[in-house]
Amino acid sequence: MKILTVIGARPQFIKAAAVSNKLRENHQEILVHTGQHYDSNMSDIFFEELGIPKPDYNLEIGSGNHGYQTGKMLIALEEICLKEKPDMILVYGDTNSTLAGALVGSKLLIPIAHIEAGLRSFNKNMPEEQNRILTDHISKYLFVPSKTAVDNLNKEGITNGVHNTGDVMFDAINLFKEKAELKSNILSVLNLESKNYILSTIHRAENTNDINRLSNIIKALNNSNENIILPLHPRTKKFIKDYNITISNKIKIIEPVGYLDMIKLMNHAKKIVTDSGGIQKEAYFLEIPCITMRDETEWVETINNGWNILVGSDVEKIKNAIHNFTPTTKPQMVFGDGNAAEIISSIISQ
């Protein structure tokens, strides 16, 4: 089959690193990078380090308001689909690139496969929730990471084409964990001792676009009395500057890092404090306690198993969790066996 895959944002490159090469064993893949993420440390580094095939097209859409960004993607993707005539469009996750790929498939009557389908935060103010609900409802193949995702889809009346394959991010971390441990020298570069720092990331619109939430989060990190490493997403960098928020010298801000350095930083962290979707699961896979600065999460299994805690943007809750949150049980295998890419590829073949 000729499969046109649409990617564009950092987490999608990492998912494609687990899936693309597997898919290409049996199918022809046309890889389209929308250019939603474009800084070299948000894009190129992942292709170089992780052996992701070079995109056949880079739309170079870049940043902008949701309508502008998604609209430009739609126009460009439609043109490519009319030319390439794929048998299927494959999209990942919940970004604007995901929605654009799915809408083009839907309008051109090309079957859509959605990897990481079925997730819900039940907060429709999140752009991600809007993107994933819309994409799921027009997809023909819904590859879901967990039983919870199957249930979410069933409750919305989606029962056909749902396949619980496990999580492709579990595949990704298994693929690169050992290499990260061997190759990454980020701990010595940053002069860090294993288990003697907290790793943090912040980038979700609900936190960055609200001055109170972002100020509270930084205040909690500033006052936690821990060494914090903060690889800073460009969105957050911009808002910290715009809001004139002060960072204490307990927080070490670094540029976004590649996946190998990120795995190493996660694996040796005492705890992880984040609002990222992907990192909540990676913390779970690596058995690092995760403190999630959101009011809800799609990854409820990590909470139910006691390895993740929701603290919103509440200063005291964040500080308290940094000092006291300690999982007491072993994480259970709830996101598949780490062979999701293989399963997805064989379902597509069938």
**Which residues of this protein are in contact with ligand UDP, per CB under 6 A?**
10-11, 14, 201, 203, 231, 256-259, 262, 276-279, 282
Is 203 annotated as catalytic? yes
User: Active site residue: 203, 233, 268, 323, which one?
Assistant: 203
> Minimum Å distance from CB 300 to ligand UDP?
16
Please, which residues have CB within 8 angstroms of residue 185's CB and are 6 or more apart in sequence? none
Closer of 130 and 320 to ligand UD1 (Cβ): 130
Can residue 10 be called a binding residue for ligand UD1 (CB under 6 A)?
Answer: yes
Binding residue for ligand UD1, selected from 21, 74, 123, 127, defined by CB under 6 A: 127
Q: In whole angstroms, how close is the CB of 37 to ligand UD1 at the nearest point?
A: 4
Residue 258 or 338 with smaller CB distance to ligand UDP: 258
Residue 284 corresponds to which tokens in the numbers above?
């779970």
Residue 257 contact partner, candidates ligand UD1, ligand UDP, none, CB within 5 to 8 A by sort of partner: ligand UDP
* Stretch (H or E) spanning 247: none
Residue 295: Cβ within 10 Å count:
14
Q: Indicate the residue among 192 and 218 with the shorter CB distance to ligand UD1.
A: 218
Pairing of strands 28-33, 2-7: parallel
Q: Work out whether 238 is an interface residue with ligand UD1 (CB under 6 A).
A: yes
One residue of 37, 120, 281, 319 binding ligand UD1 per CB under 6 A: 37
State the Cα torsion 121-125-131-137 to the nearest 10°.
70
Out of 235, 250, 252, 270, point to the residue binding ligand UD1 (CB under 6 A): 235
Burial (0-12, 13-18, 19+ Cβ within 10 Å), 233: buried
**Cβ atoms of residues 177 and 263 within 8 Å:** yes
5 Cβ neighbours under 8 A, 6+ residues apart: 16, 20, 23, 29, 30, 31, 32, 89, 90, 91
Q: How far is the CB of 350 from ligand UDP (least distance, A)?
A: 29
Tell me the window of 108-116, 217-225, 234-242, 321-329 that interacts with ligand UD1 (CB under 6 A).
234-242
Query: H helices within the chain, ranges in order?
Result: 10-24, 44-50, 66-84, 96-107, 127-138, 147-155, 168-183, 186-189, 205-208, 211-222, 234-242, 259-267, 277-286, 300-304, 315-324, 340-349
Q: How is 112-166 classified by DSSP, letter by letter?
A: EEEETTT---S-TTSHHHHHHHHHHHH-SEEEESSHHHHHHHHHTT--TTEEE--
Binding-site member from 3, 4, 9, 52 for ligand UD1 (CB under 6 A): 9
Kindly tell me which of 16 and 315 has the beta carbon lying closer to ligand UD1.
16
The least CB distance from residue 36 to ligand UD1, in Å, is 5
Phi, psi of 16 (to 5 degrees): -65, -30
165 counts as binding ligand UD1 under rule CB under 6 A: no
Which of the ranges 31-39, 77-85, 167-175, 213-221 carries the binding residues for ligand UD1, by CB under 6 A? 31-39
Residues catalogued as catalytic: 203
Q: Which residues bind ligand UD1 (CB under 6 A)?
A: 9-11, 36-39, 42, 63, 94-96, 127-128, 203, 234-235, 238
